[in-house]
């Protein structure tokens, strides 16, 4: 059976991290499984974990006045669920539910924040990697906001 | 001078003269989008190649450039979104109505030149229509190509074009089909996000991949950028431009971008040519 260290090492987000860094992160992680439709995150709840998605699919959701619950993004294998744990006030901005059976590594946020404070090299490396995730999501959101397909005729 | 009787008037030919076609069928694809199946009434236009477009005439109203969605035994299939007077008239046509067809025009997708390569097709919105012939050709000669994938993006699940075909293609085991939408209700079990987020899902070898990208220009820019970052050679990324095409033969200049006329030098262009053109702002 693969260790948390091994599983993290196979995930694209952690690609190229030295083994000692993976060890530190793995020390904050456990394997978790979510069944289909299982609720994972409540909007505005404390962001005390994040998840390294290995298999399955998770939907980020927001409740809207007219349309009700809307999925604004899905996160699949190779993705990360949750960035709010990194930035004060450490509360979730959106809800999340599994839309398919999902396996992930759950990382304890306080544990990893503490290790990043103690080891700034690790903290800076992770911050750079999370910045890419945040940039990609910001770009995707901007594209979605432009309603690209609505104006596209044949 | 005696008036010339219409039925004895000499037939007009030339690049600006449409050929008469009849509507054989009309399929509603989306609320505002229809596919017309057209058969020649008498003579036919030259056989189009995949990626080319025709000018379709709604008589008495005008004409519009419409990509070829399929061709079967000389019958043309055009998928049209009703967004203006001409396309509204075309979409409102009934079986038996007549449509004028000029064409085919422009450059097409070079799939045959990609024999042995991995094939990646990225489509957004109605951009699935012009790349549909690529999928058909892939299935017809599947053994000639490496791995194949179709990545499709749409505004919402209700706005997915060719849903039946997508499901049929996905059921085949020799092509990867991934679909994503910009937003959805929780009953949608598929992906939500921009189409480029699907790229890591599908296996392909970037240096030996040819990519065909068709959709809104912003989507194509981001798609080509991500493909390039993954290692797909720029000259192996092909996009289909859509500009304000009027004459379709490079005379009127409405579709001119830099030194290129999209109607005759395009619409299909390699990214090496298209990228600087897409940086030109339309006025």
CB of B243 within 8 Å of a chain A CB? The answer is no
Measure the CA–CA gap between A73 and A97, rounded to whole angstroms. 11
B230-254: average pLDDT: 84
Chain A's closest residue to B128, CA to CA, is A154
Residues of A in contact with B155 (CB under 8 A): 147-150
Chain B contact for A151 (CB, 8 A cutoff): yes
CA distance B270 to A44: 47
Which pair of structure tokens corresponds to residue A97?
Answer: 């539910």
Mean per-residue pLDDT over chain B, rounded: 90
Q: Is the pLDDT of residue B159 over 60?
A: yes
Structure tokens at B277: 């053109």
Task: Give the angle subtended at the CA of B163 by the CAs of B51 and B118, to the nearest 5°.
Answer: 50
pLDDT confidence of residue B11: 61
Minimum mean pLDDT range among A132-141, B166-175, B245-254 = B245-254
Give the CA-trace dihedral at B188, B192, B197, B202, to 10 degrees: 0
Pairwise pLDDT comparison (B178 vs B187), residue with the higher score: B178
Query: Residues B105-116: what's their mean pLDDT?
Result: 93
Residue B64 has a pLDDT of 93
The answer to whether position A61 is within a domain reads yes
The pLDDT assigned to B282 comes to 63
List the structure tokens of A137.
């999501």
Q: Which domains does chain B have, with CATH numbers?
A: 16-105 (2.40.30.10), 112-278 (3.40.50.80)
pLDDT band at A153 (very low <50, low <70, confident <90, very high): very low
Q: Are residues B189 and A99 in contact, defined by beta-carbon separation less than 8 angstroms?
A: yes
Q: How confident is the model at residue A10 (pLDDT cuts 50, 70, 90)?
A: very high
pLDDT at residue A154 in the model: 41
Number of independent structural domains in chain A = 1
Q: Is residue A50 part of a domain?
A: yes
Q: Please, is B240 exposed, middle or buried when counting C-beta atoms within 10 Å of its C-beta (0-12, 13-18, 19+)?
A: buried
Question: Residue A114, Cβ neighbours under 10 Å: how many?
Answer: 12
Longest dimension (CA), chain B: 73
Query: CA A32 → CA A3, A26, A37, B117, distances in Å?
Result: 13, 13, 15, 39
Give pLDDT, residue B7.
57
| B283 confidence band (pLDDT: 50, 70, 90) | low
Token pair for B180: 């994503």
Mean pLDDT of A14-24: 95
Task: Please indicate, yes or no, if residue A152 is contained in any of the structural domains.
Answer: no
pLDDT at A101 over 90: yes
Cβ pair B200:A78 closer than 8 A: yes
List phi, psi (to 5°) of B138: -60, -45
Q: Under a CB-based contact definition with an 8 Å cutoff, are residues B48 and B76 in contact?
A: yes
In SS3 terms, chain B reads as CCCCCHHHCCCCCCCCCCEEEEEEEEEEEECCEEEEEEEECCCCCCCCCCCCEEEEEECCCEEEEEECCEEECCEEEEEEECCCHHHHHHHCCCCCCEEEEEEEECECCCCHHHCCCEEEEEEEHHHHHHHHHHHHHHHHCHHHCCCEEEEEEECCHHHCCCHHHHHHHHHCCCCEEEEEECCECCCCCCEECCHHHHHHHCCCCHHHEEEEEECCHHHHHHHHHHHHHHCCCHHHEEEECCCCCCCCCCCCCCCEECCEEHHHHCEEEEHHHHHHHHCCCCC
* For residue B130, pLDDT beyond 90: yes
Tens-digit pLDDT profile for residues B187-238: 899 999 999 999 988 999 999 999 999 999 889 999 999 999 999 999 999 9
pLDDT digits (tens, 9 = 90+) for B140-154: 999 999 999 999 999
Q: Do B183 and A144 touch (CB under 8 A)?
A: yes
Whole-complex ipTM: 0.83
Angle between helices B217-230 and A120-145 (to 10 degrees): 150
pLDDT tens per residue, range B25-73:
999 999 999 999 999 999 999 999 999 999 999 999 999 999 999 999 9
B222:A147 CB<8 A = no
* Residue in chain A nearest B183 by alpha carbon: A72
Asked if the Cβ–Cβ distance from A147 to B155 is below 8 Å, we say yes
pLDDT above 90 coverage of chain B, percent: 73
Distance CA B242, CA B279 (A): 14
Q: Within an 8 Å CB–CB cutoff, is residue A145 touching chain B?
A: no
Residue A109 structural domain: 4-147
Task: Please compute the mean of the pLDDT values over residues A5-28 and round it to a whole number.
Answer: 95
| CA–CA separation, B237 and B124 (whole Å) | 16
Structure confidence by residue, pLDDT tens digits, A32-79: 999 999 999 998 999 999 999 999 999 999 888 878 888 999 999 999
Rounded Cα distance, B28 and B35, in Å: 7
| pLDDT greater than 60 at residue B4 | no
**Cα–Cα distance measured from residue A4 to residue A25, given in angstroms and rounded to the nearest whole number:** 9
The whole-number average pLDDT for the span B81-92 is 95
Structure confidence at residue B8 (pLDDT): 55
Report the C-alpha dihedral over residues A87, A92, A97, A103, rounded to 10 degrees: 30
Give me the CATH number covering residue A120.
2.60.120.10
Q: Cβ B125–A139 below 8 Å, yes or no?
A: no
């Amino acid at each position: 059976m693969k260790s948390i260290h091994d599983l993290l090492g196979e995930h694209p987000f952690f690609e190229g991290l030295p083994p000692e860094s993976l060890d530190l992160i793995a020390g904050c992680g456990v394997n978790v499984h979510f069944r289909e439709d299982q609720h994972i995150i409540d909007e505005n709840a404390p962001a005390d974990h994040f998840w390294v998605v290995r298999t399955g699919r998770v939907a980020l959701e927001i409740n809207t006045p007219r349309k009700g619950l809307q999925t604004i993004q899905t996160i699949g294998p190779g993705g990360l669920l949750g960035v709010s744990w990194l930035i004060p006030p450490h509360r979730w901005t959106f809800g999340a539910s599994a839309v398919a059976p999902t396996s992930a590594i759950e990382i304890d946020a306080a544990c990893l924040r503490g290790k990043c404070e103690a080891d700034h090299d690790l903290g800076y490396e992770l911050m750079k990697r999370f910045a890419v995730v945040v940039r990609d999501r910001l770009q995707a959101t901007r594209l979605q906001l432009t309603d690209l397909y609505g104006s596209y005729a044949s | 001078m005696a008036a010339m009787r219409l039925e004895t008037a000499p037939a007009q030919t030339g690049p600006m003269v449409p050929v008469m076609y009849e509507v054989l069928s009309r399929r509603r694809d989306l609320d505002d989008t229809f596919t017309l199946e057209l058969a020649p009434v008498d003579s036919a236009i030259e056989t189009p190649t995949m990626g080319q477009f025709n000018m379709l005439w709604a008589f008495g109203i005008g004409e519009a450039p419409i990509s070829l969605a399929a061709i079967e035994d000389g019958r043309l299939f055009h998928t049209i979104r009703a967004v203006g007077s001409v396309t509204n008239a075309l979409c409102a046509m009934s079986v038996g109505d007549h449509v004028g067809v000029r064409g085919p025009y422009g450059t097409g997708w070079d799939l045959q030149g990609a024999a042995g390569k991995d094939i990646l097709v990225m489509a957004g919105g109605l951009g699935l229509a012009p790349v549909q012939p690529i999928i058909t050709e892939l299935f017809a000669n599947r053994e000639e190509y490496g791995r194949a994938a179709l990545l499709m993006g749409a505004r919402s699940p209700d706005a997915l074009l060719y849903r039946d075909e997508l499901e049929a293609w996905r059921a085949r085991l020799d092509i990867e089909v991934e679909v994503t939408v910009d937003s959805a209700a929780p009953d949608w079990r598929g992906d939500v996000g921009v189409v480029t987020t699907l790229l890591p899902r599908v296996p392909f070898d970037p240096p030996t991949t040819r990519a065909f990208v068709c959709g809104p220009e912003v989507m194509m820019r981001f798609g080509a950028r991500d493909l390039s970052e993954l290692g797909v050679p720029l000259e192996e990324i092909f996009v289909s431009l859509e500009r304000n095409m009027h004459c379709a033969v490079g005379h009127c200049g409405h579709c001119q971008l830099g030194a290129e006329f999209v109607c005759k030098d395009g619409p299909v262009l390699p990214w090496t040519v298209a990228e600087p053109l897409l940086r030109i702002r339309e006025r």
